[in-house]
């Protein structure tokens, strides 16, 4: 029970919300969907700032980018035909994995990212999509690439700011995406989750690649060395195997109740390779 909460704020504007957050002491807590907040074992929270009234629940697309308001729920993402059609639907697929329907009807995209869980389901697809986070603070708004957003377990660039929007730049034409996930059960956190983007030219030479992993490092990350190995190369099964091994080598998994570090590393390799193969097959590339 949150018996120490003395105040429940419902700011109506981003400015007001930012001001409340700026004034806050350590025990003022931002409340989005609440599904992670309620699980916090430390229940010393004294004030809640509910950001549901800021008009941040939207999915918009223009020529350059897709913009998703931070209060958009996981259920809205998975049901959105727009999100289902973008990037082979990997973001919709990831959103559908965020707990049961009851949780997904509350949990928000902003919350999933700002909570900073290493296993955040939406992080790998968004990393593979070169997404950026729009943060607001007293000085105004700024954009932070998602690669710079996560800094450690439950540590993000949004620590002293409000995450208001996620911007996904329009993907280069002819890019295929895939996400892969292994979990103990259908409703468990991932042991490993992976998202991959791949673009090939007519010679099956890789012109663009993104490989993102979740749950196998202190934060979701892109396997840059593995991506680099793909750049400009003709894609073969062997190359994908090598790249997948390289991506796994970049992981820093820990042993926990979902698996040993050794296992998670190997699963990283397998899932990265499967994602690459699936992208290739979506590009109708014969391996």
Partner 1 sequence: MNKTKQLKRPAKMEISLRINGELREWTVAPGDILLEVLRREGYFGVKRGCETGECGACTVLLDGRPVDSCMMFAAQANGRELVTVEGLAQREVLHPVQQALVEHGAVQCGFCTPGMALTAKALLATDPQPTEEQVRQALSGNLCRCTGYRKPVEAVLAVARHELPGHAESQPAKHAAVGQSVVRVDGAKLAAGRPAFTDDILVPGMLYGKILPSPHAHARIKRIDASKAKALPGVHAVLTYEDVPRVPHTTAGQAWPEPSPYDTYLLDSKVRFVGDRVAAVAAESRAIAEEALRLIKVEYEVLPAVLDMEGARNQGVAVIHDEPDATGIHDAKHNIAAIIRKELGDAEQGFGASDLVREREFRTQRQQHAMLEPHVTITWLDPDERLVIRSSTQIPFHVRRQVATILQLPVQRVRVVKPRIGGGFGGKQEMLLEDICAALTLATRRPVKIEYTRQEEFFMARSRHPQVLRMKMGFKKDGTLLASEMKVLASTGAYGSHSSTVQGNTGSKVLPLYRAPHMKFDCDIVYTNTPVAGAFRGYGCPQGFFAQETLVDEVAQELGMDPIELRLKNLIRKGDTDELSAQLGEGRKGLARLMRSCGIEACLERGAAAIGWAEKRSAPRDPASHLRRGVGVACAMQGSGIAGVDWASALIKLNEDGSFQLQTGCADVGAGADTVLSQIAAETLGVTVDKINICSGDTDFTPFDVGAYASSTTIISGGAVKKTAEKVRERVLELASRLMNISPEGLACRQNQIVAVNGSASLPMADLARHATYREKLQIMESASHFITDSPPPFCATFAEVEVDTETGKIRVVHLVAAVDAGVAVNPVLAEGQVEGAVTQGLGYALVEEMKLDENGRMINPSFLDYKILSAKDVPKLTTILVETEEPLGPYGAKSIGEVAINGPAPAIANALFHAVGIRVRKLPIGAEDVWWALRENEHKPTVRRAGATQ
End-to-end, the C-alpha distance of the chain in Å comes to: 56
Please name every residue paired with 214 in a beta bridge, in sequence order, or none if there are none.
193
Q: Could you give the 3-state DSSP secondary structure of residue 84?
A: helix
Of 249, 248, 236, 220, nearest to 276 (Cα)?
236
For residue 141, the minimal CB distance to partner 1 (Å) is 26
User: Is 82 buried (19+), middle (13-18) or exposed (0-12) by CB count in 10 A?
Assistant: middle
Nearer to partner 1, 40 or 143 (CB): 40
Q: Can you tell me which of 11, 111, 118, 259 binds partner 1, judged by CB under 8 A? A: 259
Q: What share of the chain is helix, strand, coil (3-state, %, to 5)?
A: 35, 30, 35
Which one of 59-67, 140-148, 150-158, 257-265 is the stretch in contact with partner 1 (CB under 8 A)? 257-265
Which one of 35-43, 118-126, 156-164, 167-175 is the stretch in contact with partner 1 (CB under 8 A)? 35-43
Size, binding site for partner 1 by CB under 8 A: 43
Q: Can you tell me which of 11, 17, 18, 35 binds partner 1, judged by CB under 8 A? A: 35
Nearer to partner 1, 102 or 155 (CB): 102
44 binds partner 1 (CB under 8 A): no
CA dihedral 129, 52, 59, 164 (to 10 degrees): -40
Of 46, 67, 49, nearest to 57 (Cα)?
67
For residue 190, the minimal CB distance to partner 1 (Å) is 12
Nearer to partner 1, 4 or 143 (CB): 4
Site string for partner 1, 174-213 (x = CB under 8 A): --------x-xxxxxx-x----------------------
Q: Is the Cβ–Cβ distance between 125 and 83 less than 8 Å?
A: no
CB atoms within 10 A of CB 107: 25
100 binds partner 1 (CB under 8 A): yes
- What residue ranges bind partner 1 (CB under 8 A)? 1-8, 31, 33-35, 38-39, 45, 47-48, 50, 52, 75, 96, 99-103, 105-106, 182, 184-189, 191, 257, 259-260, 263, 266-267, 270
């Amino acid at each position: 029970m949150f018996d120490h909460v003395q105040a429940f704020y419902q700011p109506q504007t981003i400015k007001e919300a930012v001001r409340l957050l700026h004034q806050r002491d350590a025990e003022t807590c931002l409340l989005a969907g609440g599904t992670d907040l309620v699980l916090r074992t430390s229940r010393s929270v004294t004030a809640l700032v509910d950001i549901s009234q800021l008009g941040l629940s939207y999915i918009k697309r223009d020529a350059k980018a897709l913009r998703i308001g931070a209060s958009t729920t996981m259920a809205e993402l998975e049901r959105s035909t727009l999100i289902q059609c973008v990037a082979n639907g990997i973001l919709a697929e990831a959103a559908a994995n965020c707990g049961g329907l009851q949780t997904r009807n509350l949990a928000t995209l902003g919350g999933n990212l700002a909570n900073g869980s290493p296993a955040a389901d939406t992080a790998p697809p968004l990393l593979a999509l070169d997404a950026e986070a729009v943060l607001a603070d007293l000085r105004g708004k700024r954009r932070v690439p998602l690669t710079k957003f996560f800094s450690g377990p439950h540590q993000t660039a949004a620590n002293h700011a409000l995450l208001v929007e996620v911007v996904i730049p329009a993907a280069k034409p002819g890019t295929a995406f895939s996400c892969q996930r292994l979990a103990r059960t259908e409703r468990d956190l991932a042991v490993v989750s992976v998202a991959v983007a791949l673009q090939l030219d007519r010679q099956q030479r890789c012109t663009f690649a993104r490989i993102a992993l979740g749950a196998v490092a202190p934060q979701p990350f892109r396997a840059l060395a593995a991506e680099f190995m793909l750049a400009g190369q003709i894609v073969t099964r062997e190359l994908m195997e090598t790249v997948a091994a390289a991506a796994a080598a970049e992981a820093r998994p820990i042993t926990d109740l979902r698996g040993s570090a050794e296992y998670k590393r190997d699963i990283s390799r397998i899932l990265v390779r499967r994602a690459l193969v699936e992208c290739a097959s979506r590009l109708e590339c014969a391996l």
